[in-house]
Amino acid sequence: MAKYRKLGRTSDQRKALLRNQVTALLYKGRIVTTEARAKEIRKIAEGLIALAVKEKDNFETVKVSAKVPRKDKDGKRVKEVKDGKKVTLYDTVEKEIKKDMPSRLHARRQMLRVLYPVTEVPSAAAGRKKGTKEVDLVAKLFDEYGPKYASRNGGYTRIVKIGPRKGDAAMEVVLELV
């Protein structure tokens, strides 16, 4: 018996397809795809969620102080003239951050090996780059999905058949997080 489905693609195309679909599933919560693809995506996604559940509380909180440039009401840096030069003024800010333990850091890197970076674009036509932000899917896995599925022993996804596709009669399914 085969370990995985080849999906009629070369290995690099197949890996890219699966990474893309897993990223979309974890970002949106549900995707529509074919049955064969869904069964392959499910394996990868459930492995990532299981890793997030295992390592969700494996961090320590650390206080850090950082120098941050002072800004005016327009968001521009405040400058002061010292010895004939314009110098930016800085404030020291105390902040608490989560520091990953070694096993959680390893899990984070394993997740990043699979997931593609996701950029969220606002719906308003404010321009191509303005207002876009990078979504941290790994943090979402640890902070949202980890606690949500902590009491569950596997079975984080559900496949619901929605019927054959019109073009090629491939069985289409909805793959969603439970």
Tell me the helix, strand and coil percentages in the chain, rounded to 5.
Answer: 35, 35, 30
Tens digit of each residue's pLDDT (9 = 90 or more) over 47-99: 999 999 999 999 999 999 999 999 988 888 999 888 889 999 999 999 999 99
Statement: residue 157 has pLDDT above 90:
yes
Alpha carbons within 13 angstroms on the beta-carbon side of residue 58 total: 16
The architecture (CATH level 2) of 13-57+101-177 comes to: Alpha-Beta Complex (3.90)
The residue among 90, 88, 97, 42 whose CA lies nearest residue 64 is 97
Q: Are 146 and 55 in contact (CB under 8 A)?
A: yes
Statement: residue 128 has pLDDT above 70:
no
Statement: residue 125 has pLDDT above 70:
no
pLDDT at 123: 75
Which span out of 35-49, 70-84, 117-131 was modeled with the highest average pLDDT?
A: 35-49
pLDDT at 170: 95
Three-state helix/strand/coil letters over 126-162: CCCCCCCEEECHHHHHHHHHHHHCCCCCCCCEEEEEE
Domain boundaries, the chain: 13-57+101-177, 59-100
Instruction: Quickly tell me which residue has 């303005």 as its tokens.
Output: 130
pLDDT at 73: 87
Q: Dihedral, CA atoms, 107, 113, 114, 117, nearest 10 degrees?
A: 110
pTM: predicted TM-score of the whole model, two decimal places: 0.85
Greater confidence (20 vs 84) lies with 20
